[in-house]
Amino acid sequence: MLTEYHHLDTKGTGDPTRGLARSIHLFKLFRHEGTDPDRFYSYLAADVVRQISRFQDPRNALAVDIGGGPGYIAEELRAAGARCVVVDQSAEELRLHGRQPESAIQCDAQALGLHDGAAQIVCSSNMLEHTARWQRALAEMVRVLEPAAGLGYLTFGNWYSPWGGHETAPWHYLGGHAAADRYERRYGRRPKNEFGVSLYRLHVHEVVDWFRARDDVEIVWMAPRYWPDWLRWIAHIPGVREVGNWNTLIIFRRKPATPERPATPERTAIPADTGR
């Protein structure tokens, strides 16, 4: 059963927060993301916190937003009562759209400078497909999450979705490198999300298999991120979900340590920037 701590539009904007109306509103905002990024990313960040709040009360929680860039999600988490730090490798992303997060650490998602089990909420929104060694990034998310009581929120763009190639879509269906080359021919520059450089092929089944292979973590919710709850079934059908999910949401918890499964050793220092 879901416990909805904060499910209303707390800013009083009147924007839809549920069902098909929410999905339609998201896609309408996304169409203008390039010209009005603040409106799109602010709504998306509020949506993230609404989804987290269905499973976990964010009040007084320490939250870590991995790959959070200029801090849209962190801002919403603080408004909901959490203490939040943004972790991002890129100084440019931390200053995107003329913004800057209130509290940030610049380091690699694959080697977080945080203690084991330090955070009650660990969030990563659409960062994973930009990480070459995504398994290491996921392992770090699990490591810094507090066992039993903490909640992990993960979304990522799956490669075979219509937007899998990001700004090179839908030509990524003909190959990532070919799509990037076509983009350069058309616009005279390489795409920001360039296949093999800052964008990588990632499939839903790979991430689900990774979670299921671990005995210290459990998936508590999986769904297409942007679709209504009643279309959650799409995420549970192999093959169909690779295209139909568009963007995949996985909410998870870290299981308590046992004598057979001890906790991961702590990290005590923030590592140097090692590259993704």
Contact criterion met (CB below 8 Å) for 130 and 108: no
Q: How far is the CA of 227 from the CAs of 18, 150, 241, 246, in angstroms?
A: 10, 25, 12, 9
What confidence score (pLDDT) does residue 99 get? 82
Query: d(Cα 71, Cα 103) in Å, to the nearest integer?
Result: 9
What confidence score (pLDDT) does residue 91 get? 83
What confidence score (pLDDT) does residue 188 get? 98
Helices (H), the chain: 19-30, 37-53, 72-79, 91-94, 134-144, 176-187, 204-213, 240-244
Read off the pTM: 0.89
Angle of CA points 94, 52, 24, to nearest 5°: 85
**pLDDT digit string, tens, across residues 221-270:** 999 999 999 999 999 999 999 999 999 999 999 999 777 666 654 443 33
**Residues in the chain with pLDDT values less than 70:** 1-13, 260-276
What confidence score (pLDDT) does residue 43 get? 95
Domain boundaries, the chain: 19-158+202-254, 164-200
What confidence score (pLDDT) does residue 274 get? 34
- CATH 3.90.79.10: does it fit domain 19-158+202-254? no
